Amino acid sequence: MATHKSAEKRARQTIKKTAINSSRKSRVRTAEKKLIKAVVQKDAKSIPELLKSYVSEATRAVSKGALKKQTVSRKVSRLSVKANQALATK
């Protein structure tokens, strides 16, 4: 347990930031699952908006420091390819 005033403050900040980052990651994972489900079902109407939603959430998580840039870039690229394939074969 922290004994100095600055260490106690840092501990409080860490707890708060961890909760915020956890929430952000959860929102990204949820958006990803919705997109994958739509791709598997080949739901042509919802795929474009779900892809846009996923990219938006993921990019925001990167800008806020919750996720790494390259990880999100890789996932967006792969999911975009799958989404486009699903739209092409509908």
E strand map for 10-69: none
Residue 11 identity = A
Provide the CATH number for the domain around residue 16: 1.20.58.110
Q: For the chain, state the CA radius of gyration.
A: 18
* Regions of the chain where pLDDT drops below 70: 90
* pLDDT tens string 44-53: 999 999 999 9
- The residue range of the domain holding 61 is 5-88
Exposure string over 43-73, b if 16+ CB within 10 A, otherwise e? eeeebeebbebbbebbbebbeeebbeeeebe
Predicted structure pTM score: 0.89
- Our count of domains for the chain comes to 1
Q: Is 65:21 a contact under the CB 8 Å cutoff?
A: yes
